[in-house]
C-alpha cells in the first residue's frame, strides 16, 4: 500500500483491544506483507469515509494496543467517534475489523515450482541467540500463511528442547543418518507438528538427534567426496515440495556440517538470488565480528571451490542494549556500515524470549504482542520479499 502521507510524520495511538482482534490483525497484516500501522491507518480512513452504522465489536477484556498513524488523524478520528456516539476503543476496533474484512486471507499458497525457499541461520560464535531467532522467524513465516519446516541442525539440540520436544535417540532414524545414507523409511516420518499459536498446522519441526555430534567426523571420512556438500540437500529433498520455507538452525562451527548447510542454500538454476541464503546472527561486540570474518571466508571458499553463489541475506544484531555504551553503539554502527549484507533487524534483549524458553512455548504463541515478536515478523517480511 502506498501511503498518501509522509511515513515519518506520525503520532502514537494507544487503545484497549481484545486479544483475539489484535492477533487477527497481526496475522492478516503478516500474510499480506503490510505494516500494522499502515493497516490501521487504512482501516481508519475507510471507517471515516463510510458514516453508516457498523456492527459492534466485542471489546470486553481489552488490553493495551499501540501503533502509529499520520499526525492529525488521531484527533480527527476521535472527533468522528464522538460525533457517532462511540467510545474510541469501539471505533478503533470497528476500523480494524473493517480493514480485516476488506483484506481476506490469501489462503493456501501453491507450491513453488523450484521447491521450498531455504534459509539457514548461522554464526561460528555460540550464544548469540541464533536458535531463538531462527525459531521466531519460522513462527512468523507460518503465522503469515506459509508452510514452514524448522530443522534443528545443531547437535546441542537447544531448539528442540526449547520448543518442548525430545531429541531423537541415538539408535533411532535421524537427519544425520539420512544424510549419511544409514536410515531407512521416509524422512517426513521424523517431523512433529508445532500446534501452538496461530500456526494452523503450517509449522513443523525436524528434531535434533543425539548422534549429530558424529556427523562431521563421518562426513570427513566418507569415500564419496561430494557427500560433504550435498548431504543435507539430498536428505531434505523429499520434503521440498511440501513446504514454502525450510528454515535451518545451524551448529556454531565451521566444519563439514556448515559446508553442507551453505551448499543447501546456494542459488539454484532458475532461482532468484534472494530466494534462499544465510541470515547471520551477531552481537554488538568485537567477538561476533571476528566470528563473522571466519564465516565469510568459509562462504567465499565454498563458493569458489563449488562454483556456486551463496546469498548473505543480512545481519540480525541480537540482544542489543544501547545502555552498554560505546562498545554496543559503535559495534552496531560497524555492522550497519558493512552495507552488503545489510542489517535487517536489531533485536533488543527482553524477558519474554527467556520466559517462552523456560515454559517451552513458541515465542509468537506465548507473547505475540511483545517487541521481539514484532521484530521476528520484520525478519520474516525481509526474507519473504
- State the helix-helix crossing angle for 19-32 and 371-384, rounded to 10 degrees: 20
Is 111 a member of any domain?
A: no
The region that residue 33 occupies, defined by phi over 0 for left and psi between -120 and 50 for alpha, beta otherwise, is left
Question: Do 119 and 146 contact (CB within 8 A), yes or no?
Answer: no
Q: Does 159 lie in the same domain as 83?
A: no
Kindly state the percentage of the chain with pLDDT values over 70: 93
- CATH code at 257? 3.40.50.300
Cβ contacts of 373 within 8 Å, gap of 6 or more: 136, 140, 352, 363, 364, 367
Is 142 a member of any domain?
A: yes
Q: Does 284 lie in the same domain as 219?
A: yes
Q: Does 202 lie in the same domain as 170?
A: yes
The pLDDT confidence band at residue 20, using thresholds 50, 70 and 90, is confident
Q: Does 161 lie in the same domain as 63?
A: no
pLDDT for 99 beyond 90: yes
Of 3-7, 113-117, 340-344, the one with minimum mean pLDDT is: 3-7
Of the spans 206-215, 283-292, 313-322, which averages the highest pLDDT? 313-322
Give the position of cell 546469498. 311
Give the position of cell 541464503. 277
Q: Does 154 lie in the same domain as 273?
A: yes
**Domain span at 15:** 10-102
Q: Does 167 lie in the same domain as 95?
A: no
Q: Does 314 lie in the same domain as 278?
A: yes
Is 109 a member of any domain?
A: no
Is 3 a member of any domain?
A: no
Q: Please count the structural domains in the chain.
A: 2
pTM of the model: 0.78
Of the spans 178-182, 227-231, 304-308, 317-321, which averages the highest pLDDT? 304-308
The pLDDT confidence band at residue 291, using thresholds 50, 70 and 90, is confident
CA distances (Å), origin 151, targets 124, 234, 299, 338, 381: 18, 14, 21, 29, 20
Amino acid at each position: 500500500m502506498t501511503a498518501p502521507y509522509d511515513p515519518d510524520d506520525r503520532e502514537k495511538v494507544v487503545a484497549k483491544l481484545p486479544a483475539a482482534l489484535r492477533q487477527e490483525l497481526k496475522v492478516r497484516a503478516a500474510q499480506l506483507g503490510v505494516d500494522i500501522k499502515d493497516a490501521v491507518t487504512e482501516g481508519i480512513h475507510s471507517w471515516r469515509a463510510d458514516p453508516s452504522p457498523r456492527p459492534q465489536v466485542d471489546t470486553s477484556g481489552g488490553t493495551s494496543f499501540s501503533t502509529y498513524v499520520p499526525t492529525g488523524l488521531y484527533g480527527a478520528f476521535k472527533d468522528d467517534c464522538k460525533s457517532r456516539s462511540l467510545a474510541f476503543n469501539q471505533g478503533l476496533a470497528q476500523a480494524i475489523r473493517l480493514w480485516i474484512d476488506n483484506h481476506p486471507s490469501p489462503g493456501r499458497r501453491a507450491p513453488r515450482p523450484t521447491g521450498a525457499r531455504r534459509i539457514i541461520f548461522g554464526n561460528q560464535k555460540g550464544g548469540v541467540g541464533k536458535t531463538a531467532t531462527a525459531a521466531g522467524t519460522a513462527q512468523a513465516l507460518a503465522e503469515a500463511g506459509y508452510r514452514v519446516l524448522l530443522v534443528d541442525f545443531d547437535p546441542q539440540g537447544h531448539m528442540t528442547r526449547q520448543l518442548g520436544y525430545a531429541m531423537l535417540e541415538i539408535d533411532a532414524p535421524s537427519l544425520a543418518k539420512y544424510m549419511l545414507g544409514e536410515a531407512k523409511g521416509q524422512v517426513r516420518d521424523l517431523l512433529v507438528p508445532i500446534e501452538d499459536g496461530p500456526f494452523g498446522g503450517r509449522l513443523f519441526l525436524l528434531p535434533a538427534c543425539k548422534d549429530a555430534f558424529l556427523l562431521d567426523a563421518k562426513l570427513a571420512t566418507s569415500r564419496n567426496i561430494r557427500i560433504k556438500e550435498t548431504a543435507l540437500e539430498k536428505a531434505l529433498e523429499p520434503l521440498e515440495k511440501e513446504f514454502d520455507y525450510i528454515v535451518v538452525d545451524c551448529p556454531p562451527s565451521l566444519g563439514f556440517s556448515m559446508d553442507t548447510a551453505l551448499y543447501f542454500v546456494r542459488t539454484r538454476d532458475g532461482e532468484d538470488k534472494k530466494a534462499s541464503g544465510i541470515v547471520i546472527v551477531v552481537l554488538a561486540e568485537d567477538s561476533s565480528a571476528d566470528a563473522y570474518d571466519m564465516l565469510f571466508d568459509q562462504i567465499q571458499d565454498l563458493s569458489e571451490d563449488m562454483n556456486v553463489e551463496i546469498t548473505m541475506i543480512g545481519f540480525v544484531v541480537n540482544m542489543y542494549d544501547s545502555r552498554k555504551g560505546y562498545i554496543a553503539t559503535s559495534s552496531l554502527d560497524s555492522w550497519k556500515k558493512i552495507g552488503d549484507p545489510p542489517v535487517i533487524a536489531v533485536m533488543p534483549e527482553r524477558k519474554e524470549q527467556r520466559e517462552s524458553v523456560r515454559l517451552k512455548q513458541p515465542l509468537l504463541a506465548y507473547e505475540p504482542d511483545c517487541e521481539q515478536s514484532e521484530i521476528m515478523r520484520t525478519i520474516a517480511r525481509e526474507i519473504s520479499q
